């Protein structure tokens, strides 16, 4: 059965989108509103097939029947079908299953997709009559939905759409050119998009349809915020994703995250070009920090269709703030600056901002000083010090109470003891015996005094105008994981040294940072006059 072109008038311009007014075969349903869903599904299928021809299988005219419910989600089944270039046949879920199967036989549909609760509601017929959807094509990668591998089979939930969301999607996606969709989302056919899971396993949000339309590959991540952050950064670091969808809440969590996320973030930055899709309202200062740190675009979404304002649209700055393009940066967000009475002069060996000494370690709040006291509470340990050993976790450096024990000290015994005393994320997995070295000899005082003003100016710049003294702790003044990365980059670029983020975390005061720079440089910085004037020979020539 064919649908008259007039039914497409409020959905898309067939001539502008496809160059034809003869749409392919479209399904019918009992409800008038469902016919609109059918037209939209057919148009979206053609859009995906047009933009991702390499994802088609050997039978591009194969049809899949999808049962519709109005709860505002989109199943991975439809994404797989569209990526494979099939034509979806949309059926209302109020139909009894035998009627759906009969319609499938009459129209040549070989596969029917329905939700599990629909199967239960359909007179307890079970999953027998429902055929699985084959996942084919290089872009039909489904993680966390029961898929074994491309070419395998997936039991998928229903395509459920909210009428208002469908209307916005039709206006935002189907009436726009491919170039506009790619420009608005920042996603291209070579990207892999990592997105958050919904309330039901295997259900993708409707806003992911533009990413599929742009030819991108979709990968489903976890639902928990901290779990999603770690999973996302690990995926980027391993080159398994180039686009990561983050909510505003997750971005704020990342800004105050611990060392593990900081290391993963730096690794991701050095490995790939990353595009961050921020769903929700993000503070302009946080957005600018992300943009400066990553050197990539921050594309906005409206949380429904996946499309934000056009890049050429005028952006209205938030009340009371100055936009990043219109003047000097605004003051640091309140949630990044501890109150004066909460600032910690020194946050301990790990050295992080800490309100009353509590910081995020591997995403879990913990007090480094309290962890050190816990380790030192073991009968065989006289003193303990924590340090970060890269993204693998915490390292405990301990000095034994008996420096010459009769039996060799078993570090695993200490680790097992700590597992009974601390949360798993706060247990050091590496123990170094007698690893507490004496304080190193500092640099020459003259050299240190020469570097101190330059380091202090850089710290003040990264903290955006905060008054800085030599004894101030960088993290107590509002430093966090992202600002630590910015500080390391700026010190290394401006002063010509090679500091690591771990060194900054273990030496967080301005004076300590200057000592690190002086030790790395080995000499005082050149004076401006010396750099500007050429050296004269002794004979005056």
Quick: pLDDT tens for 290-316.
666 666 666 666 544 444 443 333 333
- Domain annotation covers residue 107: yes
Q: In terms of domains, do 281 and 392 share one?
A: no
106 with 166, same domain: the answer is: yes
418 in the same domain as 467: no
Does residue 164 sit in the same domain as residue 185?
no
Q: Which residues, in sequence order, are CB contacts of 121 under 8 Å at separation 6+?
A: none
Q: Please say which residue of 301, 318, 353 terminates a domain.
A: 301
Same domain, 272 and 372: no
Structural domain count of the chain: 4
Domain end: 387, 409, 433, which one?
Answer: 433
3-state secondary structure 67-115: EEECCCEEEHHHHHHHHCCCEEEEEECCCCHHHHHHHHHHHCCCEEECC
Q: Is residue 318 in a domain? A: no
For 339, phi then psi, to 5°, come to: -65, 155
Structure token digits, residue 352? 């992080």
Of 261, 279, 301, the domain-final residue: 301
**One domain, residues 17 and 63:** yes
The predicted-structure confidence for 151-173, as pLDDT tens digits, reads as follows 222 222 223 333 344 344 444 44
Residue 379: per-residue pLDDT? 83
Based on the domain organization, do 388 and 493 belong to the same domain? Answer: no
CA angle 181, 183, 189 (to 5 degrees): 70
- Residue 451: the pLDDT is 83
User: How many H helices and E strands in the chain?
Assistant: 19, 18
Q: What does pTM read for this prediction?
A: 0.35
List the domain range (segments joined by +) for residue 407.
Answer: 362-433
Residue 236's nearest CA partner among 200, 203, 277 is: 277
Q: Is there a single domain that holds both residue 167 and residue 193?
A: no
Q: Which residues pair with 466 in a beta bridge?
A: none
Q: Is 1 exposed, middle or buried (0-12, 13-18, 19+ CB in 10 A)?
A: exposed
Tell me, yes or no, whether 310 lies in a domain.
Answer: no
Instruction: Let me know if residue 439 belongs to a domain.
Output: no
| pLDDT at res. 429 | 74
Instruction: Note whether residue 230 is domain-resident.
Output: yes
Asked if residues 143 and 219 have their Cβ atoms less than 8 Å apart, the reply is yes
Question: How far apart are alpha carbons 502 and 42 in whole angstroms?
Answer: 54
Quick one: 38 and 171 in the same domain? yes
> So what's the pLDDT on residue 224?
59
The segments of the chain whose pLDDT lies below 70 read 1-186, 195-228, 231, 237-240, 255-282, 290-369, 387-393, 435-446, 523-541
- Spatial separation of the C-alpha atoms in residues 39 and 27, rounded to whole Å: 8
Whether residue 323 lies inside any domain: the answer is: no
We report the CATH number of the domain holding residue 494 as: 1.10.1200.10
The average confidence (pLDDT) of the chain is 55
In a domain, 13, yes or no: yes
Q: Are residues 132 and 203 in the same domain?
A: no
CA pair distance 354, 495, nearest whole angstrom: 28
Report how far apart, in Å, the C-alpha atoms of 497 and of each of 267, 272, 474, 492, 517 are: 19, 24, 19, 5, 7
pLDDT of residue 307: 47
Give the separation between CA 89 and CA 104, rounded to whole angstroms: 9
Question: Are 24 and 169 within one domain?
Answer: yes
Instruction: Please check whether residues 27 and 120 belong to one and the same domain.
Output: yes
Element (H, E) at 255: helix 248-255
Q: What is the CATH number of the domain that holds 271?
A: 3.40.50.980
Instruction: Give CA torsion, residues 455, 461, 464, 466, to 10 deg.
Output: 40
Q: Which CATH number belongs to the domain containing residue 366 in this structure? A: 3.30.300.30
């Amino acid at each position: 059965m064919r649908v008259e072109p007039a039914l497409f008038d409020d959905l898309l311009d067939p001539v502008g989108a496809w160059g034809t007014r003869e749409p392919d075969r479209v399904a019918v349903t009992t409800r008038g509103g469902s016919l609109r869903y059918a037209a939209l599904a057919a148009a979206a299928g053609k859009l995906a097939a047009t933009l991702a021809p390499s994802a088609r299988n050997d039978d591009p005219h194969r049809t899949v029947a999808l049962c519709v419910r109005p709860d505002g989600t989109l199943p991975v089944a439809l994404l797989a079908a569209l990526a494979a270039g099939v034509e979806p046949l949309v059926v209302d879920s109020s139909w009894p299953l035998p009627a759906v199967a009969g319609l499938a036989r009459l129209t040549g549909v070989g596969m029917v997709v329905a939700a599990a609760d629909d199967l239960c509601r359909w007179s307890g017929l079970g999953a027998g009559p429902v055929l699985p959807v084959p996942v084919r094509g290089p872009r039909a990668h489904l993680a966390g939905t029961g898929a074994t591998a491309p070419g395998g089979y997936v039991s998928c939930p229903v395509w459920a759409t909210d009428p208002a969301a469908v209307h916005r999607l039709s206006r935002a996606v189907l009436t726009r050119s491919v170039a506009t969709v790619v420009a608005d989302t920042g996603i291209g056919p070579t990207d892999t998009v990592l997105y958050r899971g919904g309330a039901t396993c295997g259900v993708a949000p409707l806003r992911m349809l533009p990413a599929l339309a742009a030819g991108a590959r979709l990968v489903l991540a976890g639902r928990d915020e901290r779990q999603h952050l770690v999973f996302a950064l690990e995926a980027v670091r391993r080159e398994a994703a180039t686009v990561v969808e983050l909510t505003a809440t997750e971005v704020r969590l990342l800004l105050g995250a611990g060392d593990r996320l900081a290391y993963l973030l730096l690794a991701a930055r050095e490995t790939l070009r990353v595009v961050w899709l921020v769903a929700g309202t993000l503070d302009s200062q946080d957005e600018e920090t992300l943009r400066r740190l990553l050197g990539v675009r921050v594309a906005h979404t409206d949380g429904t269709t996946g499309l934000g304002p056009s890049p050429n649209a005028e952006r209205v700055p938030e009340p009371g703030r100055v936009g990043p393009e219109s003047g000097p940066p605004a003051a640091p967000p309140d949630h990044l600056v501890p109150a004066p009475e909460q600032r910690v002069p020194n946050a301990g060996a790990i050295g992080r901002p800490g309100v009353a000494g509590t910081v995020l370690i591997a995403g879990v709040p913990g007090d480094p000083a309290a962890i050190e006291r816990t380790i030192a509470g073991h009968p065989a340990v006289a003193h303990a010090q924590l340090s970060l050993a890269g993204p693998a976790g915490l390292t405990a450096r301990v000095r034994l109470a008996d420096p010459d024990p009769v039996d060799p000290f078993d570090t695993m015994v200490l680790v097992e003891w700590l597992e009974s005393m601390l949360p798993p994320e706060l247990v050091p997995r590496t123990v170094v015996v007698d690893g507490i070295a004496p304080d190193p000899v500092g640099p020459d005082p003259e050299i240190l005094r020469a570097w101190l003003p330059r380091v202090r100016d850089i710290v003040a710049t990264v903290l955006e105008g905060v008054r800085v003294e030599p004894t101030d702790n960088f993290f107590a003044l509002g430093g966090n994981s992202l600002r630590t990365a910015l500080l390391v980059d700026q010190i290394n670029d401006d002063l010509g040294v090679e500091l690591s983020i771990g060194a900054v975390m273990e030496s967080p005061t301005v004076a300590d940072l200057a000592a690190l720079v002086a030790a790395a440089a080995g000499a005082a910085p050149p004076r401006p006059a010396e750099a500007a004037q050429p050296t004269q020979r002794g004979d005056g020539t």
